[in-house]
Amino acid sequence: MGTADDAYRFIVLRGGICSDEDYPFTGTLGVCKASRDGIAATIDGYCKVNIDEQALKCAVATQPVAVSLCINGSFKAQRGVGIFKGKTGTVKHGAVIIGYGTENGVDYWLLKNSWGPNWGEDGCFRIQRNVTEIGGKCGVAMHAFFPVKLGVNCHIADNLNIVEYCHYPKRRGKWLDDELLGW
């Protein structure tokens, strides 16, 4: 699995990313067919959220946050509704936290998954929040990142209670971009 920080670095060095409409997710393994044409969005860098569920909640309150989870077979088998309270696994899986809430006294994170709308709750799932496990249920707060667009959301990056570090890779020149990105 690639990590969010690798993906964000790629987007910065490439000069942006195309839209889902121009380059839809297919859910299959294959060769990337992206080109330098059709840039729909750019970012200036990315930040890593502190390993703390309260810091993660503050970051999610302002924008979606990409996370890596340690899941197991029971997680992947979760097909219906409900809040995942199962055991942490060893398989790394990426998802995006898009919200949080409480149901029947149980706090949860709302995450968007890449397994399609027929999995979980219309492609989303809820995982227990505010647990005693370090880094949250399934390590949800261990590797959490969000993109930064200077002048738009950099105020979050300046909050040391939320952010562990920020990285702003610089585009260095066509020859280096071509070499790093395989163009």
* Mean pLDDT of all residues belonging to the chain: 81
Number of H helices, E strands in the chain: 5, 8
Write the CB contacts of 151 (distance below 8 Å, at least 6 apart in sequence). Answer: none
Q: What's the pLDDT band for 177 if we cut at 50, 70, 90?
A: very low
Q: Return the SS3 of 106.
A: strand
Q: What is the spatial distance between Cα 181 and Cα 183, in angstroms, rounded to a whole number?
A: 6
Distance of CA 120 to the CA centre of its chain: 18
User: Per the structure block, which two tokens stand in for 174?
Assistant: 């066509």
The whole-number pLDDT of residue 10 equals 85
* pLDDT of 180 higher than 50: no
Residue found by looking up tokens 């707060």 in the block = 141
Beta bridge partners of 46: 147, 167
Q: What is the spatial distance between Cα 113 and Cα 102, in angstroms, rounded to a whole number?
A: 20
Per-residue pLDDT tens digits for 50-76: 999 999 999 999 899 999 988 877 776
Cα dihedral 8, 10, 11, 17, rounded to 10, equals -120
* pLDDT of 179 higher than 80: no
Please give the CATH number for the structural domain made up of 4-181: 3.90.70.10
User: Per the structure block, which two tokens stand in for 170?
Assistant: 């610089």
Per-residue pLDDT tens digits for 28-42: 777 877 666 778 999
